DNA sequence: CTGAAAGCGCTAACAT
DNA sequence: ATGTTAGCGCTTTCAG
């Protein structure tokens, strides 16, 4: 692989000189200004190519007041890092931003300390915008957004705000999962919820509820056990369900991690999946395909989450105000339903 | 949470005026120049605080020729994204760089196309340095490095180069795993290798080999099955091993993913783990703790990988040339040994 | 120890 | 359609 010549210090001025035009013209060509004579455009481009010229971001920023940088902020308090999710989303963001000539700046920082560096670097045009991941406390983002910084959040903000966000359609996905269980012949469908204080937890429960309601029934509260999205909590919730003695022949679990835990207790009790109890999860995490029985689940478009967030940001940078978006989920039937 | 006042356009000049000093002095204070009278330092700092001033990166870059930006390059051809690894490493990098006042620029791009934007943006002082993840082809990095761009690679470069890198000590980890098997009483230890064309694959095999050699024996080639790090390949390799009929009472598998696959075929054959065959993996991936039997494995310090890479980069930016580093691994004994 | 002044490389009026 | 000319906000000689 050969690299273009190292552009130690080729400047726009030199290009101008070589091409025999003024710096302003070079700048115009570089920025795609229409009204430049064809032949000049060519000679400028030739010079650019020959010298391997790349405009200086710093100089451009200074002149335009735009940095071309988008902060991608990860609340490092979050424990969710073990989740492959992050790598995929941030990668998608970066790739998509690049198409709009924007760069992703990765900032991992605790979001709770009020006056951290983050605040000042965000609130003082060091970046053209910021993408946040779902947060417990939106007020920080709300503030920034009010100050005029383009913001988009990945996930559903807790306190309904006007900040544009993109999320998977948790409610629809949960409904789809539950309806799938119904289709497979389940009569008494239990659920293990996630952390209900998170929008994903709440919405997934609501999806389950709406599917049950669609049957013309109310949900039997004895059939809902509360977990917190952790593997451990899935185990406990399933034990609870079993202990209650209320019969059920299927269970919608709010995420795969808990579903895996739930399955293990089902196995321990020698309850056949899916014959005696069908189970379906949510997320389609990698481990869902690894166990002795591959888990049926609801797949979310993680990459789509990132690329959508990025394109929304690109729009905002151009002054538009994109509507929030919900991404469709997909049913993945494997061996547990 | 309250934010500092929005610093729309506070400039160094304004600070100078308010503090009653020259811009040059403000600049000196900002950059920690020693020889400024104490009282002036104070009045400058006060003004800075009151106005919520943050220096403009762009202006500073233009003046100094440094951007404060470090590219973190992910070869998006890599399929490994599903690996939680990325999120953790990049986050650690970002956090560590911040301590040196550097920012991580995330660039996901295919590294094979010769003249992509990446090349030019890297080779033309748009960034102060670049961190790469292990690559199939080092020539690109080698080129950049030769041109004087500070580079560090996470993982062991394939073609031994002089480029500083940081990696977990794969060989030592594999040896530790194998020796652990020996300690637990294993007599005939098989291994399932990873992709031998990757340094991790090769080194882990060598670690296994050296442990066997430590016993005063040569490795029995009938006991080594080749996988490629995928779950599927772990399954196949174990079947091969079993089919061969050569007895073994333990197996070191080059990564957890394959180990999980291998365990499933052991279970299918009703072979008791660890009584009949002990198994140990490598990586300590999350799923290792999820199955019906928790996998013993070698844990790598993923976060350390990122933070070490970042501090090495910080050193390089300051003109030093750090030595490459190997990170120690840790044995995690669970239920399979 | 401090200030004046000259850029860093680019863009954006403003002329022409 | 193109060139001239000011800056953008900071650092850094160079004087003093």
B232 contacts: CB under 8 Å, gap ≥ 6? B261
Q: Are β-strands A189-193 and A224-226 bridged in parallel, bridged antiparallel, or unpaired?
A: parallel
Residue A2 predicted with pLDDT over 70: no
The pLDDT value given to residue B83? 67
Sorted by sequence, the CB contacts under 8 Å of residue B38 that are 6+ apart come out as none
Rounded distance in angstroms from the CA atom of residue A62 to the C1' atom of nucleotide C14: 20
The stretches of chain B forming alpha helices (DSSP H) are: 12-19, 23-30, 38-51, 57-64, 85-99, 117-122, 139-146, 170-183, 199-214, 231-244, 256-268, 302-317
Residue-wise pLDDT for A39-72, tens only, equals 999 999 999 998 989 999 999 999 999 999 999 9
**Is the Cβ atom of B13 within 7 Å of strand C at any atom?**
no
* Nearest residue to B105 (alpha-carbon basis) of B137, B145, B136, B132: B132
- Please give the pLDDT value at position B5: 53
Q: Which two tokens stand for residue A86?
A: 């992050």
- Does B126 contact A59 at a Cβ distance shorter than 8 Å? no
Q: pLDDT tens, A127-163? A: 999 999 877 777 888 888 888 899 999 998 877 678 9
Residue B12 approaches strand D within 7 Å at CB:
yes
Average pLDDT over chain A reads: 90
How confident is the model over A81-98, as a mean pLDDT? 84
Q: What's the pLDDT at A159?
A: 74
Q: What is the pLDDT of residue B8?
A: 60
Q: A37 and chain B: CB distance < 8 Å anywhere?
A: no
Report how far residue A178's alpha carbon sits from residue A20's, in angstroms, rounded to the nearest whole number: 70
Q: How confident is the model at residue B78 (pLDDT cuts 50, 70, 90)?
A: low
Interface of B with A in 151-210 (CB under 8 A): none
* Among the ranges given (A1-15, A195-209, A304-318, B190-204), the one the predictor scored with the smallest mean pLDDT: A1-15
- Token couple for B207: 């670690």
Name the closest residue (CA) to the C1' of nucleotide D2.
Answer: A25
Question: Is the pLDDT score of A87 beyond 90?
Answer: no
CA distance A155 to A134: 5
Q: How many CA atoms lie within 13 A of B48 on its CB side?
A: 17
Residue A82: per-residue pLDDT:
56
CA–CA dist A328, A296 (Å, integer): 17
Percent of chain A scoring above 70 in pLDDT: 93
pLDDT confidence of B1, banded at 50, 70, 90? Answer: very low
Give me the half-sphere count of Cα atoms (radius 13 Å) on the Cβ side of residue A212.
21
Q: Map residue B159 onto helix, strand or coil.
A: coil
pLDDT at A97: 96
Q: Among all chains, which residue has been given the structure tokens 């290798």?
A: B193
% chain B with pLDDT above 70 = 93
Q: What is the CA radius of gyration of chain B?
A: 26
From B214's Cα to the closest Cα of chain A, the distance in A is: 35
CB interface of A with B, residues 38-67, below 8 Å: 52, 54, 56-59, 61-62, 67
Average pLDDT over residues A109-117: 65
A201, A233 in Cβ contact below 8 A? no
Residue B290: alpha-carbon gap to chain centroid: 24
Label residue A336 by pLDDT band (50, 70, 90).
very high
- The mean pLDDT of A230-235, rounded to a whole number, is 95
Which of B106, B147, B290 lies nearest to residue A94, judging by beta carbons?
B106
B231/A7 Cβ within 8 A: no
Distance from CA of A307 to the nearest CA of B (A): 12
As a whole number of angstroms, the distance between CA A194 and CA B18 comes to 54
Q: B87–A91: do the CB atoms touch at under 8 Å?
A: no
Res A42: pLDDT: 92
Q: Residue A326: which of A172, A208, A210 has the closest Cα?
A: A172
| C-alpha–C-alpha distance, residues B214 and B218, integer Å | 9
Q: What is chain A's Cα-based Rg?
A: 26
Secondary structure element (H or E) that encloses residue B73, with its range = strand B69-75
* Integer Cα distance of A227 and A235 in angstroms: 9
| Confidence at residue B292, expressed as pLDDT on a 0 to 100 scale | 83
Contact A111, A133 (CB under 8 A): no
Residues whose CB falls within 8 Å of the CB of residue B282, separated by 6 or more in sequence, listed in order:
B170, B173, B174, B177, B204, B252, B253, B254, B255, B256, B259, B297, B298, B300
Q: Which residue has the tokens 């490629």?
A: B228
Pairwise CA distance, residues A116 & A108, whole Å: 12
Residue range B226-269, pLDDT digits in tens = 999 999 999 999 999 999 999 999 999 999 999 999 999 999 99
**Amino acid B51 CA to nucleotide C5 C1' distance, rounded Å:** 26
Residue with tokens 């949470």: B1
CA distances from A29 to A41, A42, B34 (A): 6, 9, 46
Contact flag B108-A94 (C-beta cutoff 8 Å): yes
What do you get for the CA distance between the two ends of chain A, in Å? Answer: 50
Nearest CA in chain A to B111: A1
> Which pLDDT band holds residue A113 (cuts at 50, 70, 90)?
low
Tell me the DSSP string of A277-319: -EEE-SB--GGGGTSSSPPBEEE--HHHHHHHHHHHHHHHHTT
d(CA B176, CA B133): 25
Instruction: Check CB contact under 8 Å for A72 and B2.
Output: no
User: For residue B296, what is the DSSP state?
Assistant: B
pLDDT tens across A155-184, in order?
988 776 789 999 999 999 999 999 999 999
The reply to whether A62 has its C-beta less than 7 Å from any atom of strand D is yes
Query: Which residues make beta-bridge pairs with B167?
Result: B326
**Helix, strand, coil percent values for chain A (each to nearest 5):** 45, 15, 40
Maximum distance among all alpha carbons in chain A?
87
Mean pLDDT, rounded, for B180-204? 95
pLDDT at res. A1: 44
**Distance, first Cα to last Cα, chain B:** 50
This prediction's pTM = 0.91
| Interatomic separation, CA of residue A47 and C1' of nucleotide C7, rounded (Å) | 25
Tokens of B10: 């506070």
Please check the confidence at residue A6 and state whether its pLDDT lies above 70. no
User: Which of A28-32, A310-314, B222-226 has the weakest average pLDDT?
Assistant: A28-32
Size of chain B, expressed as the number of residues it contains = 337
pLDDT, one tens digit per residue, over A74-86 is 877 655 555 678 8
**Cβ of A67 and B83 within 8 Å?**
no
């Amino acid at each position: 692989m050969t690299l273009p010549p190292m552009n130690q210090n080729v400047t726009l001025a030199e290009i101008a000189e070589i091409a025999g035009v003024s710096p302003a013209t070079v700048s115009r060509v570089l920025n795609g200004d229409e009204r430049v004579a064809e032949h000049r455009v060519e000679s400028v481009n030739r010079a650019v190519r020959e010298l391997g010229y790349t405009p200086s971001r710093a100089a451009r920023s200074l002149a335009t007041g735009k940095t071309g940088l988008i902060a991608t902020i990860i609340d490092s308090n979050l424990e969710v890092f073990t989740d492959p999710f992050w790598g995929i989303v941030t990668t998608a963001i970066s790739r998509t931003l690049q198409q709009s000539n924007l760069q992703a700046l990765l900032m991992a920082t605790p979001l709770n300390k009020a006056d951290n560096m983050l605040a000042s670097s965000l609130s003082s045009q060091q970046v053209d915008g910021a993408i946040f991941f779902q947060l417990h406390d939106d007020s920080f983002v709300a503030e920034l957004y009010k100050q005029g910084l383009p913001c988009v959040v990945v996930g559903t903000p807790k306190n309904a705000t006007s900040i544009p966000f993109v999320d998977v359609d948790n409610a629809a996905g949960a409904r789809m999962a539950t309806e799938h269980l119904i289709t497979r012949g389940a009569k008494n469908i239990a659920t293990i919820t996630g952390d209900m204080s998170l929008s994903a937890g709440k919405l997934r429960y609501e999806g389950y509820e709406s599917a049950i309601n669609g049957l013309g029934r109310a949900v039997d509260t004895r059939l809902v056990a509360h977990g917190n999205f952790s593997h451990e909590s899935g185990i406990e919730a399933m034990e609870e369900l079993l202990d209650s003695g209320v019969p059920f022949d299927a269970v919608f679990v709010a995420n795969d991690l808990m579903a895996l835990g739930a399955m293990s207790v089902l196995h321990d009790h020698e309850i056949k999946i899916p014959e005696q109890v069908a189970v379906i999860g949510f997320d389609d995490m990698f481990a869902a395909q690894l166990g002795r029985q591959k888990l049926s689940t609801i797949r979310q478009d993680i990459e789509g989450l990132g690329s959508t967030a990025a394109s929304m940001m690109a729009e905002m940078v151009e002054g538009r105000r994109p509507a929030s978006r919900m991404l469709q989920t997909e049913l993945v039937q494997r061996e547990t339903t």
